[in-house]
C-alpha cells in the first residue's frame, strides 16, 4: 500500500532532493522552477510513500474534474528513482486512480517524460498507462534530436550558410542580453503567429537567476547588433533549445546557421543528446515543415513527445 500525500510548500526540500536523485527527473521539476507560474495553475502534485520512504512524485495540476501532469510543463509524469520496479509502478497507478476517484476527478491527462531525458531507462509508467489505465494517445508532437556521439552530416545549405555568416563577420557567444533577444523573439512570434513567448522577459530572467547553469543564452551578433539567438535548457542528458529566433537581418545573414555551427561543432556538452524541440501546431496534428526542415538540416531526427489521457 502507498500513502499518497498532496504536496505542500513545507515538503519542498524533500521533493527537490528526490528529483535530484531520480532516474527520469530534470530541473523543470524542482519547485523553484515549477512554482514560478503557480498563480496560473491550481497545483495538485502528489507524493507517494511506501515503507516509510518517498517512492515517487507526480507533478500535477487540477482543472475542474481533470488532473493534468503538469499543464505548465513541457513534459511530466511519475518521477521515479533507481529502486522503482515495474510491479510497484502498476500498483502505484491502481492506487493513484482510486485516490483520484475519491477526490472527484473523472479524467487524467498524462504527459510522459521523453526517453532522451531519462538518466536510466524509465518507461514503467508507459506500460502502466496501457495495462492498468487503458489510456489512449491524446496528442503526439515531433521533436528533432541529435545523438551527439554519432551526429549526421549537415545538409549542404546549412553548411554554406554558416560559412557565409562567419565570412560576413557574425560572432557567436554566450550572452546576458536577455532583453535584446526577447525583443527579437517577441517580434518574430507576433509577426508569424500573433503569439507571445510562453515566458515573459521577467520570468525567463527570474528562472535564469535561479538556474544559471541550466538555463543559458547564446547569441549571434554583428558589430554589436544582436541578430539571433537560442535559449538552452541543460538537463543531465539533453541540451534542449527552448527558444530559437533571428531578426530579419539575422535571417538574411544566416545567423542561425552560424549559431548552431558554434554550439554543435565547437562546444563540449558532455551530454548524449541535443534536442531542437517540437515543430508542430494544433497539439501535434500539424507538422510545420519549414521549421523541421531547418532542424533536420543540422542533423536532427525524430523524437516523439507523447501525451495520453484516460477516464477514471
160-208 pLDDT tens trace = 999 999 999 999 999 999 999 999 999 888 877 777 888 999 999 999 9
Q: Which CATH architecture has domain 3-134?
A: 3-Layer(aba) Sandwich (3.40)
First-to-last alpha carbon distance for the chain, in angstroms, is 20
How is residue 279 written as a grid cell? Answer: 515543430
Length of the chain: 312
Same fold, 3-134 and 145-305: yes
29-64 pLDDT tens trace = 999 999 998 888 999 999 999 998 999 999 999 999
In the predicted model, is pLDDT for residue 238 greater than 90?
A: yes
106-132 pLDDT tens trace = 999 999 999 999 999 999 999 999 999
pTM above 0.85, yes or no: yes
> What is 145-305's CATH number?
3.40.630.30
Domain boundaries, the chain: 3-134, 145-305
Amino acid at each position: 500500500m502507498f500513502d499518497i500525500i498532496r504536496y505542500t510548500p513545507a515538503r519542498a526540500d524533500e521533493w527537490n532532493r528526490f528529483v535530484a536523485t531520480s532516474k527520469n527527473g530534470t530541473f523543470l521539476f524542482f519547485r523553484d522552477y515549477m512554482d514560478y507560474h503557480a498563480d496560473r495553475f491550481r497545483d495538485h502534485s502528489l507524493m507517494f510513500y511506501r515503507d516509510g520512504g518517498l517512492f515517487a512524485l507526480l507533478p500535477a495540476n487540477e482543472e475542474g474534474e481533470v488532473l493534468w501532469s503538469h499543464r505548465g510543463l513541457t513534459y511530466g509524469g511519475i518521477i521515479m528513482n533507481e529502486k522503482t520496479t515495474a510491479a510497484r509502478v502498476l500498483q502505484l497507478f491502481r492506487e493513484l486512480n482510486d485516490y483520484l476517484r475519491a477526490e472527484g476527478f473523472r479524467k487524467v491527462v498524462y504527459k510522459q517524460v521523453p526517453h532522451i531525458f531519462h538518466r536510466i531507462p524509465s518507461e514503467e509508467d508507459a506500460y502502466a498507462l496501457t495495462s492498468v489505465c487503458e489510456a489512449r494517445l491524446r496528442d503526439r508532437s515531433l521533436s528533432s534530436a541529435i545523438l551527439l556521439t554519432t551526429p549526421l552530416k549537415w545538409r549542404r545549405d546549412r553548411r554554406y550558410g554558416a560559412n557565409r555568416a562567419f565570412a560576413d563577420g557574425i560572432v557567436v557567444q554566450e550572452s546576458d542580453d536577455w532583453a535584446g533577444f526577447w525583443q527579437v523573439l517577441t517580434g518574430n512570434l507576433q509577426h508569424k503567429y500573433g503569439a507571445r513567448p510562453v515566458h515573459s522577459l521577467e520570468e525567463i530572467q527570474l528562472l535564469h537567476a535561479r538556474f544559471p547553469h541550466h538555463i543559458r543564452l547564446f547569441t549571434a551578433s554583428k558589430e554589436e547588433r544582436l541578430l539571433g539567438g537560442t535559449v538552452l535548457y541543460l538537463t543531465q542528458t539533453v541540451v534542449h533549445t527552448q527558444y530559437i529566433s533571428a531578426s530579419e537581418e539575422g535571417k538574411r545573414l544566416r545567423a542561425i546557421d552560424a549559431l548552431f555551427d558554434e554550439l554543435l561543432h565547437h562546444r563540449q556538452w558532455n551530454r548524449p543528446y541535443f534536442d531542437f524541440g517540437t515543430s508542430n501546431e494544433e497539439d501535434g496534428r500539424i507538422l510545420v515543415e519549414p521549421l523541421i526542415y531547418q532542424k533536420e538540416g543540422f542533423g536532427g531526427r525524430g523524437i516523439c513527445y507523447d501525451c495520453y489521457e484516460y477516464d477514471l
